[in-house]
Structures are given as structure tokens and as C-alpha cells.
Amino acid sequence: MGITIKTPEDIEKMRVACRLAGEVLDYITAFVKPGITTEALDKLCHDYMVDVQGCIPAPLNYAPPGYAPYPKSICASINHQVCHGIPNDRPLKKGDIVNLDITTIKDGWHGDSSRMFIVGEASILAKRLCAVTHECLWIGIDRVRPGGRLGDIGAAIQHHAEAAGFSVVREFCGHGIGANFHEDPQVLHYGKAATGPVLEPGMIFTIEPMINAGKAAISELPDGWTIVTRDRSLSAQWEHTILVTERGHEVLTLSAGAPPRPSTLP
């Protein structure tokens, strides 16, 4: 397919779709409490996207080659689930960590973002994993500038995660996004600096590191979608959609309620 450079008109449409994705996460935050099911969270998000925002939930019935259609409007990945968890009737309990992944389609353009939520009071390990993964996201974002290389992002994320004693999932990565849910380039969360395509203004892609408390190895559940850590260790993920600008970058999914860039970073 090749990497598409978005026009100024494309970028304005992407700003809208991405703002909506962030606002869904802002909206759902108050509902993530012990006792609620991820199925209930899915319905709340679906109704908000369709009835309030007037957009389409991109995951619903999404069916890439070799996959059955995804049956829900959001992904909800709990504890050792790495990504693509299908919402169900299991109530969240105190101490769970859950990633909610939102992708909206507005006027044919996609916005994609995810956040970690701590349900009640979690363990020290769970809180540290969520915090370090959030730092990894922003360390990757900090590397986005015209003239930089795509490998700079993954190398910085890998270094930070492994220095904290965690591991980086290899099989899933960030991706270009626009009129299509998934476009080139693939944005790896590991690798070598100064390698890969040169970043140019108008590129739009996600950065979405998946970081495991244990080993990096993963498995797929029989539902054909849910990915889990093979050693059943905790996993965390954060995601933003990023635009490469003339002078640096713009975080398109950064909404009013989104946790800011960590103050722990230089």
C-alpha cells in the first residue's frame, strides 16, 4: 500500500475522528468501577458513539482476512489479556487492570486510542506496569519529528520497558491510520534507532506499546481474537494517534480527560 501523506483537508477530518475517540474514553471513565461488566461498558460506548457523536464504532464486525467478524464495538483487555479482549458478562473486580481500546469512524476517517484503567486499588506491580507503559507511550511520542526514523520510536520504548524489568510484545504494533483502520507503516515498539522509514509531515500513525510484567510470549484464545500473555503475567497498553508536523508532532487523540504526559519524564 505504501505510506500515505495526508493532505491538510485529510488532517482536519482526522482531527475530528481522533477527538471523538478520546472523548469516548473521557465519557466511559466514570463507569469503570468494581461490579460493572465489560459488556455493559461496550454498550455504553456503542450508544455514545452512535447516538451522541454520530460516528461508527470501527471494531464492530471488523473482519480482516482469516478472522471471524469482531462481535463488539470496543476491545476490553483485562489483567493478562494483551489486546483484542472481547467484552463479556464477567464483572470487573477490585484490583483488576483493564485496557479499553476505542476506534471511531467519522465521515470515513478513523480515530484510535486506548487507556489503562485501574479498578479500585491494584497491586504495586499492576500500578507500576501501567505507569511504565504510559511512560513508554510518551517516550515513543517524543521521538516523532520530521527527519527522524521510525525505528527511533521502537528503540526508545524497548529500552525504557526493559530497563524497568518488563518485556515488549513483538507480534502486535502501531500502524498507519486514516481512511483505513490499518495502513502502512507498521510502528514497532522495539528495534534499532536510526532505521526504518524517514518520518515526514503528514504521516499519521498510532503508537500503542503492549508491555508485559513477565515474558514477551503471547497466545491466542479459542475465540480467535483475545491475545493473552503465555505466562499469564499482567499486560498493559496505552495508545494515541500521532500526526507528524512540520516542526514535530501533534497528538490527535489527546482529549480533555486524557492523562497528560507523565511528569516523571525529562
pTM as predicted: 0.97
Residue 246: which pLDDT band, with cuts at 50, 70 and 90? very high
Q: How far apart are CA 185 and CA 39, in angstroms?
A: 32
**Which amino acid makes up residue 34?**
P
Residue 189 grid coordinates: 515498539
Q: What is the 3-state secondary structure (H, E, C) of 201-220?
A: CCCEEEECCEEECCCCCEEE
CB atoms within 10 A of CB 247: 9
Residue 27 grid coordinates: 465519557
Integer angstrom CA distances of residue 51 from 44, 75, 89, 134, 254:
10, 19, 23, 31, 22
Peptide bond into 34 cis (omega under 30): no
Cβ-contact 61, 181 below 8 angstroms:
no
Domains in the chain and their CATH numbers? 8-251 (3.90.230.10)
Q: pLDDT tens digits, residue range 174-192?
A: 999 999 999 999 999 999 9
The strand pairing partners of 228, in sequence order, are: 81, 219
Q: pLDDT tens digits, residue range 10-69?
A: 999 999 999 999 999 999 999 999 999 999 999 999 999 999 999 999 999 999 999 999
Integer angstrom CA distances of residue 43 from 90, 116, 139:
14, 19, 33
Above 80 in pLDDT, residue 1?
Answer: no
Residue 148: which pLDDT band, with cuts at 50, 70 and 90? very high
Q: pLDDT tens digits, residue range 225-237?
A: 999 999 999 999 9
pLDDT score, position 217? 98
Q: pLDDT tens digits, residue range 85-134?
A: 999 999 999 999 999 999 999 999 999 999 999 999 999 999 999 999 99
Integer angstrom CA distances of residue 13 from 3, 6, 143:
18, 10, 24
